[in-house]
């Protein structure tokens, strides 16, 4: 640079100072290697003084950068590698990277890759970045602590998984494998998990005994299983190209070398490698390490001269010159810099860097303490030295701030730190101009220590504040930096200090507000350095890429509380949801265009939070209304969520019940088969036929309905939901296999539960289970068949196909709740159907006057059971599901966000499950299931008996020659004889009496439990159910008569009051 202008300070001096500052920045970042200042002495020209000062500043900055590029006072900064990091393996000899190129089902491995610069998440990781590896701990793949020398590690390559493809292997590993000859081993890429061949030990290349954290760019040896090290092999050109490669090979790859495993001498260059971070440029540290600070010789002060022998004015000039050098961060002749390393531990910052966003180095990392000491010989004037001591804090604060701007301005600290350091460098540039003015005054003889003290007063306050800011945010990134600056501003009482902090916040927050603006207005997360408080997980994907939609909605975008700036705490949730809504909106409608906001705010930090809070509120409302409108609009412009909910109500809640009646008419035989033997393809066809020939055939979404089989029982699902556990998740393609594997166990469990439910009430009623062997075995078999937990009717369910993003609302857990309700309703309708079949059988006995009276007990019991089933089904469909469905659909019109829709949907299903008694209490559903099982057992027993008796053989003779009336009389006589023969058997009447006692006992217990729960928790729906099931208090009076002393037993009361006993419900 040209020498500084002499004379009055003006624009030329400012331009020169700016150039000098640029030189300082260039040298401090490694851009000027080998820069050496000129000699310093009394004979040197005055014009070289400023150039020498700039060179000394540059050397000092390079020294500080060198000392802190890897450690700061013994504390690890983000250059320390941690497990789980994405890295590149760089050869020190070839300056190329170990790369694995996909070739068929395997990989070609060689040293021909380039630095891994992949940003973000892509589907094809292997082909996109062959030189990128995942550094994992060998013993614990989930460990995420700092890597240390001597650790056993493995290098993993994440495998590509196509959408919908299932693959057990998640990673392929850098390992050792036998060569083609079989006489030695060579590096390969192996898919085996946990093999010893993929174990590698990291040691320092210069000293294998060195321990401590592994730093980015450190030369090392990578030892294999037999202590041989990875090595650069023969050139690919000499070997005829990469092995196994077919077709064209890029020349850039042919210029590489093969990868071998041989040798143990760390001095050989082909054995030395560096581990560098992926996605970040490499090479700054190496250039800084080559920049060695050169000793700087002075201009006026002679180090050999005795300061005490000089005149007072000469002493003052010499000390002033030293102070000016120190103000630019360089050592003087009599003022020397002393750097005290930080006392923080080396492990705390590394663990903080791996802990989360905004915490890099924030836990224990501090700036090194810089002090300047006066080393004046005897005879120096004490008053001058005292004045000099008062100016030393400015020099120390300037050195601290300069060191902070040099270290924190590196690429890995993110855009917020880049903007902050840029603002600080502007202040340093202005201070350099001020020092240049003081130096000009010194050369003209117009500067004294008193004048200098007067002029540096404002700068001392400024740099003291900047030093506090630097100490508070050193090692932090993103929102933590902004919080640190705001904390310093809150503790400052001076107006000038607060204005300076506000200026720093405005400059540092600009890139942060750009991230916020792009997120809430476009739904795009532009955060390459991990600074934003909204993080994106590449492991959780939506259904378009094979992931569950519920997990995507809840966990794909997460809120990092530690990285939230304090001035955005109140709006953090709305910022998160605004961007998430737009992300889903544009993923569902890529070509959609949202109206631009009337005033798209250009965010800028202000102490008036209202300035950007209102803009965030408006952006949130815009994003929320866009997504809700997409869900609510009818097709084809929207997703028609209300229409789909009405369709689901028609099928899962049997809102249009004629289709289920037709299905049961045509598919009863298939549904009564064991679940493992049900022909699903035939059942699918019968379901489609039933839907298309019913009133549901006009449903626009009927093609999304299909059927399947569940492998779990309703009782188990109700128990899990009562305990607050998640329902079992079953994929559509796994249903058949899971049902076949568990059908046998379900059938055995169902028969055991049915037998226990049959024998317990009988013992309570005082009846003995002894009887004729045929009757006892027949009833036990009937009970086992009636339970049928392994039958198709108990496992049959509907399925509903949805596409993205409707699957957010109809997630797997929500559809499972619909399916549980449907299975329960289907079972109730099935029991009712079986009782109606018994009623049909009883119609054959209407013309038999001789046996009509004898069949009265079975008539009465059948009618009571049928009344119970119909009353319960009416309660479930008319009093629970229909009102709740209408209320839920009405609430959608007032929904302001999709999250509110999801909460209303979940609340609606939970209310339905609770009021249908599936999740209220385990005992309630258990008692209800016992009553339904008893009804089904009774219906199947009577239907089998009637099937054997109601169609006797025709009398002999020519049917055309006989009179019709005579034929009918003969048939009635034969039926009467068969029925009288059946009624004369004792086991029949005992079986009917036993069923009656069991049913009444179970139903009374069920009603008693409902009344207890209703009186305890004052639930209105329980009171409604109890009133419907016992509307004339028949069962209540029976229970009261059993407990009251001296009352008639229920059986006697039934015989004394036949009319009341035979009419407990409507329609009897």
Coil/strand/helix, residue 215: strand
* Distance separating alpha carbons of residues 730 and 760, to the nearest angstrom: 35
pLDDT in tens, 1000-1017: 888 888 888 888 887 777
pLDDT of residue 977: 62
pLDDT of residue 900: 93
Which range among 102-116, 484-498, 954-968 has the greatest average pLDDT?
Answer: 484-498
Residue in 925, 975, 988 with CA at minimum distance from that of residue 722: 925
* Distance separating alpha carbons of residues 664 and 869, to the nearest angstrom: 17
Cis omega (within 30 of 0) for bond into 283: no
Residue showing tokens 């379900």: 746
Lowest mean pLDDT among 270-284, 395-409, 926-940: 270-284
- Helices 479-490, 495-508: crossing angle, 10 deg rounding: 170
CB neighbour list of residue 51: distance below 8 Å, 6 or more residues apart:
1, 3, 20, 37, 38
Q: How far is CA 372 from the centre of its chain?
A: 51
Output the DSSP codes for 778-834.
HHHHHHHHHH-TTBHHHHEEEEE---TTGGGTS-HHHHHHHHHHHHHHHHHHHHHHH
Res 91 pLDDT > 60: yes
Count of CB atoms within 10 A of residue 6's CB?
Answer: 11
pLDDT in tens, 682-701: 999 999 999 998 888 888 89
* Distance separating alpha carbons of residues 249 and 234, to the nearest angstrom: 17
Lowest mean pLDDT among 375-384, 392-401, 452-461, 686-695: 375-384
Q: How many percent of the chain have pLDDT more than 90?
A: 26
Residue showing tokens 């650790």: 151
* Distance separating alpha carbons of residues 598 and 613, to the nearest angstrom: 16
pLDDT of residue 79: 77
The answer to whether residues 189 and 175 touch, using CB atoms and an 8 Å cutoff, is yes
pLDDT of residue 271: 92
Q: Break the chain down into helix, strand, coil percent, rounded to 5.
A: 55, 10, 35
Helix (H) or strand (E) holding 261: strand 257-261
Count of CB atoms within 10 A of residue 120's CB?
Answer: 11
At 208, is the pLDDT very low, low, confident or very high (cuts 50, 70, 90)? confident
Find the mean pLDDT for residues 353-376. Answer: 63
Q: Which two tokens stand for residue 589?
A: 């409608």
At 299, is the pLDDT very low, low, confident or very high (cuts 50, 70, 90)? very low
At 1020, is the pLDDT very low, low, confident or very high (cuts 50, 70, 90)? confident
- The residue ranking higher by pLDDT, 128 or 1030, is 1030
Q: Which two tokens stand for residue 677?
A: 């033997």
pLDDT of residue 949: 58
pLDDT of residue 337: 81
The answer to whether residues 684 and 707 touch, using CB atoms and an 8 Å cutoff, is yes
- The residue ranking higher by pLDDT, 793 or 858, is 793
pLDDT of residue 730: 56
pLDDT in tens, 599-615: 666 677 887 777 778 88
Residue showing tokens 């393809």: 681
CA 293 → CA 65, 406, 409, 417, 428, distances in Å? 11, 15, 20, 26, 21
Q: Which two tokens stand for residue 434?
A: 């001020």
Output the DSSP codes for 133-178.
EEEEESS-TT--SB-BTT-EEEEEEEPP--TT---S--EEEEEEEE
Res 246 pLDDT > 60: no
pLDDT of residue 880: 92
Lowest mean pLDDT among 379-393, 454-468, 898-912: 379-393
Task: Count the residues in the chain.
Answer: 1068
* Distance separating alpha carbons of residues 30 and 411, to the nearest angstrom: 14
At 905, is the pLDDT very low, low, confident or very high (cuts 50, 70, 90)? very high
pLDDT in tens, 978-988: 665 555 556 66
At 361, is the pLDDT very low, low, confident or very high (cuts 50, 70, 90)? very low
pLDDT of residue 769: 34
At 352, is the pLDDT very low, low, confident or very high (cuts 50, 70, 90)? very low
Q: How far is CA 203 from the centre of its chain?
A: 36
Find the mean pLDDT for residues 365-380. Answer: 79
pLDDT of residue 964: 61
Beta-ladder partners of 203: 221
Find the mean pLDDT for residues 282-310. Answer: 48
pLDDT in tens, 395-416: 999 999 999 999 998 888 999 9
Res 345 pLDDT > 50: no
Residue 1046: HSE in the Cβ half-sphere, 13 Å Cα cutoff: 0
pLDDT in tens, 804-862: 888 889 988 889 999 999 999 999 999 999 988 888 876 766 666 555 666 677 788 88
Per-residue DSSP letter, 223:
E
pLDDT of residue 954: 47
Terminal C-alpha separation, the chain = 111
Q: Which two tokens stand for residue 207?
A: 């000293």
Res 204 pLDDT > 70: yes
Coil/strand/helix, residue 39: coil
* Distance separating alpha carbons of residues 222 and 260, to the nearest angstrom: 11
Lowest mean pLDDT among 367-381, 719-733, 929-943: 719-733
Cis omega (within 30 of 0) for bond into 636: yes
* Distance separating alpha carbons of residues 82 and 134, to the nearest angstrom: 10
pLDDT of residue 1044: 53
79 φ/ψ angles, rounded to the nearest 5 degrees: -75, -10
pLDDT in tens, 484-498: 999 999 998 888 999
Residue showing tokens 């060695």: 292
Q: Which two tokens stand for residue 285?
A: 């540290």
The answer to whether residues 915 and 824 touch, using CB atoms and an 8 Å cutoff, is no
Instruction: Evaluate if pTM is beyond 0.75.
Output: no
- The residue ranking higher by pLDDT, 643 or 103, is 643
Please provide the average confidence, as pLDDT, over all residues in the chain: 75
pLDDT of residue 941: 82
* Distance separating alpha carbons of residues 475 and 472, to the nearest angstrom: 9
At 379, is the pLDDT very low, low, confident or very high (cuts 50, 70, 90)? confident
Res 881 pLDDT > 90: yes
pLDDT of residue 226: 84
Query: In this structure, is the dihedral angle defined by the CA atoms of residues 977, 983, 985 and 987, taken in order, positive or negative?
Result: positive
Q: What is the dihedral of CA 748, 751, 752, 758, to 10 degrees?
A: 180
Lowest mean pLDDT among 176-190, 352-366, 483-497, 762-776: 762-776
Computed on alpha carbons and rounded to an integer, the radius of gyration of the chain in Å comes to 43
pLDDT of residue 888: 94
* Distance separating alpha carbons of residues 413 and 353, to the nearest angstrom: 11
Q: Which two tokens stand for residue 47?
A: 């014009």
- Helices 812-842, 641-652: crossing angle, 10 deg rounding: 30
Beta-ladder partners of 235: 257
Res 510 pLDDT > 70: yes
pLDDT in tens, 12-58: 344 444 444 444 444 333 333 333 333 333 333 333 333 344 333 33
CA 604 → CA 505, 509, 512, 523, 981, distances in Å? 9, 7, 10, 20, 97
- The residue ranking higher by pLDDT, 311 or 1061, is 311
Res 99 pLDDT > 60: yes
Q: Which two tokens stand for residue 767?
A: 């009846």
* Distance separating alpha carbons of residues 465 and 475, to the nearest angstrom: 18
At 976, is the pLDDT very low, low, confident or very high (cuts 50, 70, 90)? low
pLDDT of residue 275: 92
CA 723 → CA 491, 717, 861, 1018, 1037, distances in Å? 50, 10, 36, 21, 35
Helix (H) or strand (E) holding 189: strand 185-190
Coil/strand/helix, residue 352: helix
* Distance separating alpha carbons of residues 673 and 638, to the nearest angstrom: 42
Lowest mean pLDDT among 394-398, 529-533, 1045-1049: 1045-1049
pLDDT of residue 203: 93
Query: In this structure, is the dihedral angle defined by the CA atoms of residues 824, 829, 832 and 837, taken in order, positive or negative?
Result: negative
- The residue ranking higher by pLDDT, 172 or 297, is 172
pLDDT of residue 412: 86
pLDDT of residue 870: 92
| Burial of 909 (C-beta count, 10 Å sphere; 0-12/13-18/19+) | buried
Find the mean pLDDT for residues 358-362. Answer: 48
The answer to whether residues 821 and 923 touch, using CB atoms and an 8 Å cutoff, is no
Per-residue DSSP letter, 307:
G
pLDDT of residue 706: 92
Residue showing tokens 């009186």: 1015
pLDDT of residue 856: 73
- The residue ranking higher by pLDDT, 202 or 118, is 202
The answer to whether residues 827 and 671 touch, using CB atoms and an 8 Å cutoff, is no
940 φ/ψ angles, rounded to the nearest 5 degrees: -70, -35
Find the mean pLDDT for residues 894-908. Answer: 92
The answer to whether residues 761 and 997 touch, using CB atoms and an 8 Å cutoff, is yes
| Burial of 480 (C-beta count, 10 Å sphere; 0-12/13-18/19+) | buried
Q: What is the dihedral of CA 428, 430, 435, 440, to 10 degrees?
A: 150
- The residue ranking higher by pLDDT, 846 or 731, is 846
- The residue ranking higher by pLDDT, 887 or 1034, is 887
pLDDT of residue 434: 93
Find the mean pLDDT for residues 939-954. Answer: 66
Q: How many percent of the chain have pLDDT more than 70?
A: 69
Residue in 590, 537, 622, 553 with CA at minimum distance from that of residue 806: 553
């Amino acid at each position: 640079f040209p020498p500084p202008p002499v004379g009055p300070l003006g624009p030329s001096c400012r331009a020169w100072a700016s150039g000098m500052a640029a030189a300082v920045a260039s040298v401090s970042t490694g851009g000027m290697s080998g820069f050496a200042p000129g000699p310093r002495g009394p004979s040197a020209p005055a014009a070289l003084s400023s150039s020498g000062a700039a060179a000394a500043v540059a050397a000092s900055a390079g020294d500080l950068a060198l000392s802190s590029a890897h450690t700061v006072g013994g504390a690890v900064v983000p250059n320390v590698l941690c497990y789980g990091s994405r890295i590149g393996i760089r050869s020190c000899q070839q300056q190329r990277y170990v790369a694995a190129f996909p070739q068929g089902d395997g990989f070609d491995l060689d040293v021909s890759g380039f630095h891994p610069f992949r940003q973000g998440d892509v589907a094809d990781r292997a082909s996109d970045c062959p030189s990128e590896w995942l550094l994992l701990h060998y013993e614990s793949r989930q460990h995420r602590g700092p890597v240390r020398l001597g650790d056993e590690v493995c290098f993993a390559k994440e495998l590509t998984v196509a959408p919908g493809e299932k693959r057990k292997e998640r990673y392929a590993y850098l390992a050792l494998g036998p060569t083609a000859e079989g006489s030695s081993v060579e590096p390969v890429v192996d898919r085996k998990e946990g093999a010893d061949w993929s174990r590698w030990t990291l040691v320092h290349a210069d000293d294998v005994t060195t321990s401590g954290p592994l730093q980015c760019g450190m030369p090392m040896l990578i030892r294999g299983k037999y202590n041989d090290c990875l090595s650069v092999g023969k050139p690919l050109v000499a070997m005829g190209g990469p092995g196994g490669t077919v077709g064209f090979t890029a020349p850039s790859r042919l210029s590489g070398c093969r990868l071998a495993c041989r040798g143990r001498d760390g001095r050989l260059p082909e054995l030395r490698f560096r581990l560098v971070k992926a996605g970040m440029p490499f090479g700054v540290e190496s250039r800084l390490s080559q920049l060695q600070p050169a000793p700087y010789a002075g201009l006026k002060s002679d180090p050999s001269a005795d300061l005490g022998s000089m005149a007072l004015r000469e002493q003052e000039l010499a000390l002033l010159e030293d102070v000016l050098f120190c103000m630019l961060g360089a050592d003087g002749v009599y003022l020397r810099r002393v750097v005290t390393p930080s006392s923080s531990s080396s492990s705390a910052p590394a663990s903080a860097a791996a802990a989360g966003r905004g915490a890099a180095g924030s836990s224990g990392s501090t700036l090194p303490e810089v002090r300047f000491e006066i080393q004046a010989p005897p005879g120096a004037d004490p008053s001058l030295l005292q004045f000099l001591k008062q100016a030393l804090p400015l020099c120390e604060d300037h050195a601290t701030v300069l060191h902070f701007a040099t270290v924190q301005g590196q690429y890995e600290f993110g855009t917020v730190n880049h903007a902050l350091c840029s603002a600080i460098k502007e202040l340093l540039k202005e201070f350099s101009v001020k020092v240049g003015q003081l130096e000009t005054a010194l050369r003209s003889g117009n500067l004294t220590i008193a004048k200098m003290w007067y002029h540096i007063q404002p700068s001392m306050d400024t740099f003291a504040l900047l030093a506090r800011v630097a100490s508070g945010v050193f090692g932090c990134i993103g929102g933590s930096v902004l919080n640190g600056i705001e904390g310093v501003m809150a503790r400052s009482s001076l107006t000038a200090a607060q204005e300076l902090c506000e200026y720093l916040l405005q400059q540092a927050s600009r890139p942060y507000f750009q991230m916020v603006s792009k997120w809430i207005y476009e739904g795009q997360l532009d955060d390459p350095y991990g600074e934003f408080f909204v993080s994106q997980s590449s492991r959780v994907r939506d259904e378009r890429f094979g992931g569950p939609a519920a997990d995507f909605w809840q966990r794909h975008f997460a809120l990092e509380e530690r990285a939230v700036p304090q001035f955005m705490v109140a709006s953090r949730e709305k910022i998160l949801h605004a961007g998430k809504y737009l992300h889903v909106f544009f993923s569902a409608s890529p070509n959609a265009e949202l109206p631009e906001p009337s005033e798209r705010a250009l965010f800028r930090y202000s102490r008036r939070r209202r300035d950007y809070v209102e803009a965030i509120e408006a952006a949130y409302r815009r994003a929320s209304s866009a997504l809700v409108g997409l869900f609510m609009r009818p097709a084809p412009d929207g997703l028609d969520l209300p229409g789909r909910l009405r369709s689901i109500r028609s099928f899962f809640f049997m809102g249009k019940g004629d289709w289920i009646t037709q299905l049961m008419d045509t598919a009863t035989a298939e549904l009564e088969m064991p679940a493992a033997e049900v022909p699903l393809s035939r059942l699918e066809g019968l379901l489609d036929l039933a839907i298309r020939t019913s009133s549901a055939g006009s449903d626009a979404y009927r093609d999304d309905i299909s059927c399947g089989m569940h492998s779990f029982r309703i009782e188990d699902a109700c128990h899990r939901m009562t305990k607050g556990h998640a329902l079992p998740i079953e994929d559509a393609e796994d249903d058949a296999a899971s049902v076949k594997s568990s059908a046998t166990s379900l059938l055995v469990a169902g028969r055991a539960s049915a037998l226990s439910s049959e024998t317990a009430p009988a013992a309570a009623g005082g009846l003995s289970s002894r009887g004729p062997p045929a009757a006892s075995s027949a009833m036990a078999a009937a009970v086992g068949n009636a339970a049928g937990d392994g039958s198709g009717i108990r496992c049959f369910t509907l399925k509903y196909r949805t596409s993205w993003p409707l699957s957010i609302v109809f997630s797997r857990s929500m559809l499972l709740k619909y399916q549980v309700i449907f299975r329960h309703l289907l079972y109730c309708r099935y029991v009712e159907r079986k009782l109606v079949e018994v009623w049909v059988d009883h119609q054959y006995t209407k013309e038999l006057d001789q046996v009509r009276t004898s069949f009265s007990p079975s008539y009465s019991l059948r009618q009571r059971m049928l009344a119970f089933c119909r009353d319960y089904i009416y309660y479930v469909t008319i009093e629970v599901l229909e009102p709740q469905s209408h209320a839920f659909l009405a609430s959608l019109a007032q929904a302001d966000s999709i999250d509110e829709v999801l909460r209303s949907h979940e609340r609606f299903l939970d209310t339905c499950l609770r009021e249908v008694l599936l999740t209220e209490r385990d005992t309630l559903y258990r008692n209800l299931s016992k009553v339904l099982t008893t009804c089904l057992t009774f219906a199947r027993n009577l239907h089998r008996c009637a099937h054997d008796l109601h169609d006797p053989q025709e009398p002999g003779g020519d049917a055309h020659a006989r009179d019709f009336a005579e034929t009918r009389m003969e048939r009635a006589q034969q039926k009467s004889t068969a029925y009288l023969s059946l009624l004369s058997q004792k086991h029949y009447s005992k079986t009917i009496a036993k069923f009656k006692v069991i049913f009444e006992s179970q139903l009374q217990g069920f009603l008693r439990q409902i009344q207890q729960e209703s009186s305890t928790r004052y639930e209105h729906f329980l009171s409604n159910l109890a009133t419907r099931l016992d509307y004339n208090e028949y069962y209540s009076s029976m229970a009261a008569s059993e407990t009251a002393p001296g009352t008639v037993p229920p059986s006697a009361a039934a015989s004394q009051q036949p009319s009341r006993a035979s009419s407990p419900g409507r329609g009897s």
